[in-house]
Amino acid sequence: MKQLTREQAAIIGAFTGIGCGPFEDIHELAELLLGRHVWTHEFADKEVWQEIKDKVKPKFLELCAMKGEA
């Protein structure tokens, strides 16, 4: 099995809230998804996490469908 890329790990972390890669990658992805700067303390806000999760869901589902191509 191949190792996850940093982008794949960030997608998983952003969707699940469980870090499996560098936090800075999740942070960068969150800012990209939300189209704004995300302050570190905002990651403690359930509404912000839900917004991130909603926006990253299509990428997460695409990653899940890769079936060994990762």
Q: Is position 17 within any domain?
A: yes
pLDDT digit string, tens, across residues 8-21: 999 999 999 999 89
Q: Is position 40 within any domain?
A: yes
**Structure tokens given for 20:** 């499996």
How many domains in the chain? 1
Q: Is position 58 within any domain?
A: yes
Residue-level pLDDT at 68: 61
- How far apart are alpha carbons 30 and 11 in whole angstroms? 9
Q: Is position 56 within any domain?
A: yes
pLDDT digit string, tens, across residues 11-56: 999 999 999 899 999 999 999 999 999 999 999 999 999 999 999 9
Residue 18, domain extent: 6-64
**Structure tokens given for 8:** 């794949």
- How far apart are alpha carbons 70 and 66 in whole angstroms? 7
Asked if 66 and 4 count as a contact pair (C-beta separation under 8 A), the reply is no
Considering the entire predicted model, what is its pTM?
0.88
